[in-house]
Structure formats: C-alpha cells, structure tokens
Amino acid sequence: MANETAGIVGESMGYVRELFGSFATKAVVVVTIILVGFIVGRIAGRVLHRALEEIEINRIVEKGTDLAIDLAGILATTVSGIVYFMTVVAALNYLGITPLIVNIISVAAIVLFVVAAVLSFKDFLPNVMAGISVIANRTVNTGDRISVGNTTGTVKNVSLTHTEVVSPSGDVYVIPNASLVRMVVRRRRGSQRRGKG
C-alpha cells in the first residue's frame, strides 16, 4: 500500500513538474513574443512618422485638400496598432487559443476603430456641413468685409471646414464654419445681415 501511494505521489509530482515546466516555457515565450512585437510596433510607428514628417505629408495634404490633419501621426499610429494586433495574435496562436480569442479581439478592435473614427470626426463633419451651407448660400465670399462676434476683417478664404478673416492689423483669424453659421455675420458691401443668432 505504501509503495502504491508513493508511486501515485511520484507520478503526480512528475505530472505537476511537466505541466509547470511546459507552462513556464510557454509563459516565457509568450512574454518574449509580446515584448518584441510591441517594441517593433513602436519603432515602426516612430520610423514611419519621421519619414512622413520628412517628406512633409501633412503640409502636402493640407495644401491639396485645405484640411489640417495629422496624417503622419494617424498612419504611424495605425501601423503600430497593426503590429501590436499581429503580436497578440501570434502570442495567442502559440498558446493554441487563437480562433475564439482572435474573433473577440477583432470585434473589439472594430468597435474601438469605429468609436475613434466617430470621435475624430465629431468636429470635422459639422464644419464640413456648415461649410457647404456657407458656400452654397454665399453667406460670405472672398473679399467681403465682415464682422463676426469680436472679429472684424476681410474674408481671405472660405473652405469646407473654416473661413479665414484678415483683420485690419494683418492678423489672420480662422473661424470654424460651424461657428460661423451659428453667429450673426455682418457683411459690409451693401449686403444685409445674414446668419443665425
């Protein structure tokens, strides 16, 4: 009886050592995969950001579209995020739990992307819609002398997102179009008051 008990305990201990050894090895490999992947993702994002800044991608986009967005930052963050995601998938694949977890992570990533997109466009879309209204209704035109709130000057540019006004002292004011359509605009060119108060 004592020999059987000793044999069972010995087998159990061997099983525990094998299980723990396997778990410890897997844990070390998974942590290594995640650390290396996150370092590579961060470096890739920084290198891409520097390269895009070097070619002045933000200035090119702003000049071509009249939209001031940080495209270099957006693309660098996206590349880093993709590398991070692939790192987590590789770690989970090593553990053998990829299909279910990847589906859950994919859904979470899509939800986060949609939320981030909605939050990033929360000011952009109202300004574009207001810009369409300003341009279509000719609320203000380039060259008009206007007063909006505490700002008085000559309209330099009307874009989809904002209107630039140059004051008599030469200061340039950028007025978001969403603000412009909510305020009373006084045009000085024989025009009547326009806008919403």
Residue 20, CA distances (Å) to 12, 16, 48, 92 in order: 12, 6, 41, 19
Q: Is residue 164 classed exposed, middle or buried when 0-12, 13-18 and 19+ CB atoms within 10 A define those classes? A: middle
- pLDDT digit string, tens, across residues 5-58: 556 655 655 665 665 567 778 888 889 999 999 999 999 999 999 999 998 888
Choose which CATH entry (3.90.228.20, 2.30.30.60, 3.90.550.10, 2.130.10.10) describes domain 126-195: 2.30.30.60
* pLDDT tier at 115, thresholds 50, 70, 90: confident
> Model-level pTM greater than 0.75?
no
Radius of gyration of the chain from its Cα atoms, rounded to whole angstroms: 30
Location of each CATH 2.30.30.60 domain in the chain? 126-195
User: What percent of the chain shows pLDDT beyond 70?
Assistant: 82
- pLDDT digit string, tens, across residues 154-180: 999 888 888 999 999 999 999 888 888
Strand (E) or helix (H) holding 9: helix 2-54
